[in-house]
Each structure stands twice: as C-alpha cells, then as structure tokens.
Amino acid sequence: MNGIHDLGGMQDMGDLPFEANEPVFHEDWERQVLGTNVVLNMLGAYTVHELRYSMERIPPLQYLASPYFLHWLDGIERLLLEKGYVTQEELASGRSSSASPPGRRPAGPPPQHPAPPPPSNPPRFKVGDRIRARNLNPRTHTRLPRYVRGRLGTVAACPGAFEFADGLAQGKGGDLQHVYSVRFEGSELWGPDAGPKDAVYIDLYESYIEAP
C-alpha cells in the first residue's frame, strides 16, 4: 500500500536527529514491547509480515508524531484485536476478562504450516538482464518501494525463490516466487542530481518486474 511509511527517495522531511551514545531503549516500556513481539512471534500469533502491514495502517499524522516502538505497540494491538486474542476492554484495562473472546487460541507451540511447493516456472530473468519495476499501487502490503516503480534496473544476482511477503502480510499462504537482486542507477531514480557512482540494490519478487 502507498503510505507515509514508504519515505524512500522523498525530500524535505526534516532533519534526522542523531543522539550521541544513544541507548537501545529510551524507556522501559520499549524493552517490554520488543520482548512481547518476540514471544508472540514464537507462539505463532502473527508473522513479521502481518506486523509490518498492521503498522502501515497507522494514520499518517499519528505515524509521523509517534516514536519507533510505539509503531510496534500500535501494530501489535491492532493484530491482537483483529485475531480475537484480546478485546478493546482488556486493552483499556490492562487485565484479562473472565470470558475468552471467540477467536482466542490456547497457548502452545506455533502452528506448523507445510512448506509451499517450488515455483513451477523457471526464472524469467538472469544476471545482466535489464528489467523494469512494474508500476503497481496495491491497497495492501507490498515490498515494492514507490521510488523504483516504473524505473529500469539490471539484475545483479538471483538468490533463489522465497515466500511472497505480500500474501503472508494478509495471513494468506506465501507461495514461492523467484527473487532478483536488482541494481538501479542513481541517475535512473533521481536524475542528473544523483552522484555519478550512486546506485541502489533492491531484492524484488518476480511479480514486481517485467521486461522493458
């Protein structure tokens, strides 16, 4: 989806603050959010792709005004509500209710899913091929950055086939797709203002790219 989270290549977003000797956590609650996310992932409550998509749905002004770990907390709470693990009343009170929500699953090991079969088709592209990133604007999660859409690049490596993150983000099966590491020249992305040696490498699923 196109949202405020996808800031790559944008200008005039303000200075980036750098804090000397910055700690990993500024507040204890940030440490707790990280730990909670690790445990919920281990229990199979959601995938990292679902969490990314949940954070991408934070309203833009709220997203820009909130710190990093608050994005995580907002995303986690939204997922737990949508999946029926907690109720809004429980989040507000910080306490579990006596009645279990219908969608709540018992504690235990994460559910096991069979590995998806390998792609039936061979890779369409090889190292050195010129490709174009497709101009897609999906309404859900995507790993295709806006600033490369419609731009020409060169396949630099073919690391293999991986589960499709866009499907995993919606709780669907992640069919395997061929993935390509694509080099985009700075001049192709930002025009003559780019440095002569500037380039960006991005791993792209096969459904993201096409022949020019």
Q: Where are the domains of the chain?
A: 1-104, 130-210
Q: What is the CATH number of domain 1-104?
A: 1.10.472.20
pTM, rounded to two decimals: 0.85
**Angle, CA 138 vertex, CA 189 and CA 65 arms, to 5°:** 75
Neighbours of 16 (CB within 10 A): 5
pLDDT at 112: 63
pLDDT at 142: 95
Is 211:156 a contact under the CB 8 Å cutoff? no
> Strands across the sheet with 199-205, in order?
199-205, 176-185, 152-163, 130-133, 209-210
Check residue 141 and give left, alpha or beta (phi > 0: left; psi -120 to 50: alpha). Answer: beta
CA 53 to CA 57: how far, in whole Å?
Answer: 7
pLDDT at 99: 59
**Of 31, 32, 51, residue with least CA distance to 41:** 51
The alpha carbons of the chain give a radius of gyration, in whole angstroms, of 20
pLDDT at 211: 97
pLDDT in tens, 124-179: 999 999 999 999 999 999 999 999 999 999 999 999 999 999 999 998 877 899 99
pLDDT at 139: 92
Q: Report which residue type is found at 86.
A: V
Written out in words, the top-level CATH class of the domain with range 130-210 is: mainly beta
Q: How far is CA 137 from CA 23, 114, 140, in A?
A: 37, 30, 9
CA 158 to CA 164: how far, in whole Å?
Answer: 16
Alpha helix ranges (H) inside 59-125: 60-65, 68-82, 88-93
The tokens of 73 are what? 């907390």
3-state secondary structure of 202: strand
Query: How buried is 115 (Cβ within 10 angstroms: 0-12 exposed, 13-18 middle, 19+ buried)?
Result: exposed
CA 182 to CA 99: how far, in whole Å?
Answer: 51
CA 103 to CA 46: how far, in whole Å?
Answer: 13
- The tens place of each residue's pLDDT in the chain, 212 residues long, gives 888 888 887 778 778 788 999 999 999 999 999 999 999 999 889 999 999 999 999 999 999 999 999 999 999 999 999 998 889 999 999 888 755 555 555 455 556 666 778 888 999 999 999 999 999 999 999 999 999 999 999 999 999 999 999 999 998 877 899 999 999 999 999 999 999 999 999 999 999 999 99
pLDDT at 101: 53
